[in-house]
């Protein structure tokens, strides 16, 4: 047996990163070189003792901040009772959480299948749609990110390098433009944008795939990885109408936009549209692995026992954390805070835009906020995005990027962000723009 030399722990990030390079695959990309010792609330604490205000939230996962005491308490209590049972038997936390989600979900989406990750939830939604309709084709949108497992990656079209060297993908997948008013090729404005998108879809249905072959459209109500693009208000209702006309299911991928990120529990509620299937993950258990496929009984009851499954999906500890997460949402008025703080952040950013030509557009709902950075003629400026993020990091603020050209600053703070934390983050962000983009 090979003996592993014991190495004492260190407060040097460089030493930890060297140990990581020796034994962890480099395929998992990290946004920053930080090595985090612990986190609490809206702050990360690195092994070197530095503190960082977290406007990334683990990529929209820690919506209640890090280590909310109520969630931690619930998870610890469940650890003492039951950690894992899989499909050997039933357990209370999964039933209780499913009831809570059914109560909150729009329309008649009253049944839940639990998995572990967003990609798994999307895989489940694909299988549910194909299984229940008997159709095979799937329509996704350019700029979409749905995950990196093969089915989910087949739908993903946010960056080409996610797909590089992995072909062939799932057959029967087609991509259509997402309504992106700022970069609409036929001109500005919501009407022109929607006409461009739906004319493209109509032509596709006439020339490439007949509607009777399509199992589902899958859509992010707010485009996530593709640039935090908020579509025109008429988009989701028009897509819902199109699906209804042809008996096509509508899947709303709420993995990133759900659970209060836009100021509503689910982003599709912003337009009043009820999907047939909804996928949830990320913040559903405040950092523990859990995801869900949510649909109505009429659809779910056609999915026969054992037609799908998951060894770890609906883990008791994760479900207990999920229940506590919803309790906090109700008790602490998280949605109202996300709406209020998000509106203030967007207002400040738009004021900054007036004196900063490099800001092409500020967009967002709630605390799902994107800042598109451009050069002359509106050309995407990835270099500026990288510089601003680095200045922010050096000043103690963690922010992310997104967009097909990686030129969009992605601001994803905790939904229970305090006014003092918002002010602190703004001071750093504003200072970064003054230093780099003035």
| Cβ-contact 92, 353 below 8 angstroms | no
Q: Please state, in angstroms and rounded to a whole number, the distance separating the CA atoms of residues 314 and 326.
A: 16
Q: Please state, in angstroms and rounded to a whole number, the distance separating the CA atoms of residues 225 and 29.
A: 15
Is the residue at 159 inside a domain?
A: yes
Q: Please state, in angstroms and rounded to a whole number, the distance separating the CA atoms of residues 196 and 152.
A: 26
Taking 80 as the threshold, does the pLDDT of residue 10 lie above it? no
Which tokens hold the place of 210? 């007949």
Taking 60 as the threshold, does the pLDDT of residue 341 lie above it? yes
Is the residue at 78 inside a domain?
A: yes
Whether 360 and 294 map to the same domain: the answer is no
Whether 258 and 407 map to the same domain: the answer is no
Q: Which helix (H) or strand (E) holds 427?
A: helix 419-436
Whether 191 and 123 map to the same domain: the answer is yes
Q: Is 398 helix (H, G, I), strand (E, B) or coil?
A: strand
Q: Say which range, 9-18, 210-219, 220-229, 366-375, has the weakest mean pLDDT.
A: 9-18
Maximum CA extent, the chain? 68
| Cβ-contact 263, 334 below 8 angstroms | no
Which domain-ending residue is among 307, 331, 355?
A: 331
Is the residue at 134 inside a domain?
A: yes
Which residues are 284's β-sheet partners? Answer: none
What is the chain's mean pLDDT, rounded? Answer: 96
Average the pLDDT over 241-260 and give the result: 99
* pLDDT band, residue 1 (cuts 50/70/90): very low
Q: Please state, in angstroms and rounded to a whole number, the distance separating the CA atoms of residues 181 and 344.
A: 23
Taking 60 as the threshold, does the pLDDT of residue 7 lie above it? no
C-alpha pair distances (Å), 28 with each of 45, 247, 393: 21, 40, 20
pLDDT reported for residue 432: 98
In 82-149, which ranges are continuous DSSP H helix? 92-104, 118-133
Phi, psi of 93, deg, nearest 5: -55, -40
Q: Is 90 helix (H, G, I), strand (E, B) or coil?
A: coil
- Structure-token match 């305090």, residue found: 418
**350: closest CA among 359, 342, 341?**
359
pLDDT reported for residue 438: 73
* pLDDT band, residue 5 (cuts 50/70/90): very low
pLDDT reported for residue 224: 97
| Torsion angle of the four alpha carbons 328, 330, 335, 340, in this order, in degrees rounded to the nearest 10 | -90
Is the residue at 1 inside a domain?
A: no
Whether 303 and 383 map to the same domain: the answer is no
pLDDT reported for residue 193: 98
Q: Please state, in angstroms and rounded to a whole number, the distance separating the CA atoms of residues 238 and 241.
A: 5
pTM of the model: 0.96
Taking 90 as the threshold, does the pLDDT of residue 8 lie above it? no
CA R_g for the chain: 22
Taking 60 as the threshold, does the pLDDT of residue 3 lie above it? no
| Cβ-contact 273, 153 below 8 angstroms | no
Whether 302 and 382 map to the same domain: the answer is no
- Structure-token match 């004492």, residue found: 8
pLDDT reported for residue 11: 76
Which domain-ending residue is among 276, 300, 331?
A: 331
Whether 101 and 228 map to the same domain: the answer is yes
Whether 122 and 177 map to the same domain: the answer is yes
Whether 348 and 290 map to the same domain: the answer is no
* pLDDT band, residue 274 (cuts 50/70/90): very high
Indicate if the alpha-carbon torsion angle 304, 308, 311, 314 is positive or negative: negative
Whether 384 and 281 map to the same domain: the answer is no
- The sheet that has 359-365: what strands, in order across it? 359-365, 368-373, 408-411, 400-402
Q: Please state, in angstroms and rounded to a whole number, the distance separating the CA atoms of residues 400 and 54.
A: 10
* Size (the chain), residues: 438
Whether 278 and 152 map to the same domain: the answer is yes
Average the pLDDT over 48-56 and give the result: 97
Which domain-ending residue is among 302, 331, 360?
A: 331
- Structure-token match 């005491």, residue found: 69
Percent composition of the chain: helix, strand, coil (DSSP 3-state, to 5): 45, 15, 40
Average the pLDDT over 72-90 and give the result: 98
pLDDT greater at residue 4 or residue 150: 150
CATH number of domain containing 367: 3.90.1150.10
Tally of domains within the chain: 2
Is the residue at 76 inside a domain?
A: yes
CATH number of domain containing 253: 3.40.640.10
Sequential DSSP letters for 26-77: TTS--SS---EEEEEBTEEEETTS-EEEESSHHHHT-TT-BT-HHHHHHHHH
Per-residue pLDDT of 363-379, as tens digits, reads: 999 999 999 999 999 99
Whether 146 and 210 map to the same domain: the answer is yes
What's the gap between Cα 144 and its chain centre?
Answer: 11
| Cβ-contact 147, 195 below 8 angstroms | no
Percent of the chain at pLDDT > 70 equals 98
Q: Is 176 helix (H, G, I), strand (E, B) or coil?
A: strand
Whether 126 and 36 map to the same domain: the answer is no
pLDDT reported for residue 437: 84
Per-residue pLDDT of 277-315, as tens digits, reads: 999 999 999 999 999 999 999 999 999 999 999 999 999
């Amino acid at each position: 047996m090979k003996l592993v030399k014991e190495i004492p722990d260190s407060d040097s990030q460089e030493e930890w990163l060297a140990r990581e390079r020796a034994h962890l695959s480099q395929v998992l990309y990290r946004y920053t070189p930080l090595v985090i010792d612990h986190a609490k609330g809206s702050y990360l604490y690195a092994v070197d003792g530095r503190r960082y205000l977290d406007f990334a939230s683990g990529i929209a996962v820690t919506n209640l901040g890090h280590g909310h005491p109520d969630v931690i308490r619930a998870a610890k209590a469940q650890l003492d009772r039951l950690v894992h049972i899989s499909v050997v038997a039933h357990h209370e936390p999964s039933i209780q959480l499913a009831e809570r989600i059914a109560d909150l979900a729009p329309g008649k989406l009253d049944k839940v299948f639990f998995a572990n990750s967003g990609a798994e939830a999307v895989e489940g939604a694909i299988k549910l749609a194909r299984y229940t309709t008997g159709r095979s084709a799937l329509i996704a949108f350019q700029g979409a990110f749905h995950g990196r497992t093969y089915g989910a990656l087949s739908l993903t079209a946010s960056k080409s390098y996610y797909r590089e060297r992995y072909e062939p993908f799932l057959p029967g997948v087609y991509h259509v433009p997402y309504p992106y008013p700022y970069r609409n090729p036929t001109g500005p404005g919501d009407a022109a944008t929607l006409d461009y998108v739906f004319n493209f879809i109509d032509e596709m249905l006439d020339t490439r795939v007949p509607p009777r072959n399509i199992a589902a459209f899958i859509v992010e109500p707010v485009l996530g990885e593709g640039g935090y693009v908020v579509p025109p208000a008429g988009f989701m209702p028009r897509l819902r109408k199109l699906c209804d006309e042809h008996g096509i299911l509508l899947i709303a991928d709420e993995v990133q936009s759900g659970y209060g990120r836009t100021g509503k529990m689910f982003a599709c509620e912003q337009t009043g549209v009820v999907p047939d299937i909804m996928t949830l993950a990320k913040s559903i258990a405040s950092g523990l692995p859990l995801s869900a496929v949510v649909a109505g009984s009429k659809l779910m009851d056609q999915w026969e026992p054992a037609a799908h499954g998951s060894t770890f999906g609906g883990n008791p500890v994760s479900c207990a954390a999920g229940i506590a997460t919803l309790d906090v949402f109700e008790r602490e008025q998280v949605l109202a805070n996300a709406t209020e703080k998000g509106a203030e952040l967007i207002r400040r950013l738009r004021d900054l835009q007036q004196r900063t030509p490099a800001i092409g557009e500020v967009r967002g709902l709630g605390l799902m906020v994107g800042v598109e950075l451009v050069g002359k003629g509106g050309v995407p400026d990835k270099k500026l995005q990288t510089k601003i993020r680095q200045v922010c990091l050096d000043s103690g603020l963690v922010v992310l990027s997104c967009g097909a050209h990686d030129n969009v600053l992605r601001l994803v703070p905790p939904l229970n962000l305090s006014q003092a934390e918002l002010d602190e983050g703004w001071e750093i962000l504003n200072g970064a723009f003054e230093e780099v983009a003035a």
